[in-house]
Structure 1
Amino acid sequence: MTDPMTSRSTGVGPLAGVRVLELAALGPAPFAGMLLADLGADVVRVDRPGGQPMAVPPATDVTNRNKRSVLLDLKAADGKATVLDLAARADVLLEGFRPGVVERLGVGPEAALARNPRLVYGRMTGWGQDGPLAASAGHDIGYLATAGTLGLIGPAGGPPAIPANLLGDYAGGALYLVSGVLAALRHAERTGEGQVVDSAIVDGVAHLGAMLWGLLGAGLWRDARGTNLLDGGCPYYAVYATADGGWMAVGALEERFYAEFARLLPLPADAPDRGDVTRWPELRALIAERFAARSRAAWTALFEGTDACVAPVLSLREAAAHPQLAARGTLVTADGLTQPAPAPRFSRTPGALRRPPAEPGAHTAEVAADWDVAGLRGPGAAGAGDGARQPGGAPAGGGVGGGGGGVGARAGARPDSRETTGS
């Protein structure tokens, strides 16, 4: 029986039959395309000759799995025309350029929707399509800072902590783009009307804070990091160092879970009352002293499988070997890469890993036939037909790390930073 998580078959997943056109970019837009592809959509990525900055080598760029790639020069008239031909046959178009760039290239929402009124046109930016910062460059850290989210993370009296680029690019950006696209697809199915989805990282990140805004309004959240129940200020929702330099994460919020935690640690009978905020520093020091007495492995063995809500803080490679993740197949190895399996899971239409990360231009002829787009065989289709390679095996148009055509990349020229949104 074929493993549904690694099947190479086509047409599987809840989005089987949905066609997605993705204009190559960095960060959240490719991740959104990957998620749609994991769920069965036919995602065709338009890479541009010349490469892009900060590109991951194509063979290891997991965000390009389950996709096919064509190479087109969007600066050329025939390249623009071919993109619009593809858009005419697509259900969704994804782009991650700065506001105004796709319009200048001639493949903006107005032009695309004129060719395909049912098209869902998904736009991914950091600042949004309007506002005083809309045209400015930016990255995840700046969007989080502006939205008030970065200021939430870190110890009281210490600097804000940087959560990689997961919270902005992918949670506040890509996942909101996908949510918007799916909702707009549903509308298009019912009415035949396409529309533009404006997904901005600052909007998504702010939206993620809905509960905290409610708590702030109720006077139950202090507007200062490291002082609240869920931001590390609470001693029983915090991380503690172990004797061997490891860390344990404690999340014993509910009374019954805290009782189990206190019993196993153990805490003395005269330990400070957990509800007395004025004595939280004493309680934290007592818990820290206990954790510092044993190794991370010893504490893991003691707490794992209990209701004390305590877990070891693992590295990425350690997480891949954890029994819970291994049992569920949360991380899988395919094409020589350890990577997350498709998520979420579906009982009738599971997602699958059908294709390895797409090499730029590798599927030009294949897509030309499947989507019936003659322009992919023409002069604007760089490397059409075989994923053309340069001497030495580098993909045609390979940029930094051999990456595919990127946001604002010109053939044979340095990428134009004015065109890229940033991650």
Structure 2
Amino acid sequence: MNKIVLFSISLFIFAIFPAAEDIDGFPKDFPQLYDSGGNGYGSALSGFGGNHSLDREGNRKAISKNPVILLHGNGGNAHHPQWGMLKLRSFLKEKGYNHSEIWAVSYLGPDNSDAELPDPHRNNINDVRSFIDAVREYLDVQKVDIISHSLGGTLVKSYLMGLREDGSWDKSLRRFDAVGTVVTMAAGNYGLGAFSVGEFQTGGAFEAKIHSLDGVKDDTPYGSSEGSSQKGPYQKVSKLDNDQITYVAVWAEGDFVDMQNPKTGRLEGADFNRGYNLGWGLEGHEKIIKDKNVFNGFASFLNTKTNKPPKPAPPVITISPNGGEFIGKVNVYVRATNKPEVVFYTTDGESWQRYEGPFTLTEDSVVKAKAENKYGKSLEVSVTFTKSATPPYKKVLATATEHYMAGRIDNQKYIELGSKYGYIDPFYLYLIEGSKGWTDEKPE
């Protein structure tokens, strides 16, 4: 009798408290990446993705659709209660996606809640590129789909078009062949107005560039020219239109972004454009990533450009991260497409070694890599890494009052910094890793 009672209680508990999901982190053999810029500088790149009970081969066998990358917006992280990606993950699971097919990265830092201004694309593009490329390599797929929110939307364009951390654009870093579907949700695709700052300025250098490729102005390079599913007057066709990527743009009418530049969430030339009335200000900006009707409206556009075997060609090499400064140490990954038979790398320009997995740098280095397959040899790729003496730090741009309300400064500092910078003009505060408080002195 006691056994029956205990068994019944166990069933009741299991029904009320089901087994915990993999809501944090990645499989044990997924490469450890480190944040190379912006608010999360120096920390391990975190987020969620993959089936934690499976290894690389198990996760590869588990996928039957294009894996989906979820990119949060400014001032958030993958698990953020307001701006996180967990609700979108639940919608994907209801559509038949499994853990191996859903991935997200906290590119602004693991617990970030601070918006980053004025150049978050330059500061974080290496982290986004490293993560997406690592997922593609881990799962052995050519294409992923990307669902992005707010800042994440223009980071996707930066990934596709080869933005570098110095603000330049590199053809060798373009990733048009790496993405099947792009979904932007409440993104500032056309900036946040003429008086906005840095990369958010409408008509500024960054905003203009993400709508131009190889001298041709085209809002969605490699977008679709078919209008059957077009929602809104944003059809545009150019000679770059070869239907390589499916584009979707949805936005919240009158939300925080739309108020600053109406209809900036559209993408002219996209396969699907639609605005939704979800509330004003921050309310609509949050609801668009949590509204099931919005998700169902674009879900059919996912997994439309599926992974196909690559055409016979020599390997193409990428090194991740793509060089730059690092703190302490950095893990380096070499990726070769087109089924390479052998991959080599060197850190001194002379001693070539067979690449077996990520390696660690602790000093200034020039990393070179090359590969071969039965169709020929790759081009040799070279990137430069520089060790920085500056300790990892976070920076936040805000007014004295906003810094005070966020708890970064006390009453005395509020008066001191308000007198120094004014109470309505924004200024940076810095938090050095291991220190006890924020300062307005930039770490050197």
TM-score of the aligned structures, taking structure 2 as reference length: 0.28
Q: More relative contact order in 1 or in 2 (CA 8 Å, sep 6+)?
A: 1
Please state which structure has a larger fraction of its residues in helix. 1
* Bigger Cα Rg: 1
Q: Which has the higher strand share?
A: 2
